[in-house]
Amino acid sequence: MKLLEKVLSFLQYWYFRYTLVTELYMVEKWERHFINIFLVSLFCLLFYFNHKILLPATSLVLSAG
């Protein structure tokens, strides 16, 4: 149980730092959720693009050389 509390405390600390750096602590809760969902969606789309398009393209370029 102590480990779980430490992990939660660690995650809360880094989320707090994230809100301070991005200045999300100043916006309303629904806006904060919207921005977080947008950023997670953007990250997922970029990951998918890199995995499905850039990785095969770079492997073709590297194997051709």
- 65 pLDDT band, cuts 50/70/90, is low
Tell whether pTM > 0.85: no
Q: What are the residue boundaries of the structural domains of the chain, listed by start?
A: 2-64
Q: Which pLDDT belongs to residue 59?
A: 87
CA 7/CA 38 separation, integer angstroms: 25
Q: Which pLDDT belongs to residue 23?
A: 93
Q: Which pLDDT belongs to residue 61?
A: 87
pLDDT digits (tens, 9 = 90+) for 14-34: 999 999 999 999 999 999 999
Give the whole-number percent of the chain exceeding pLDDT 90.
80
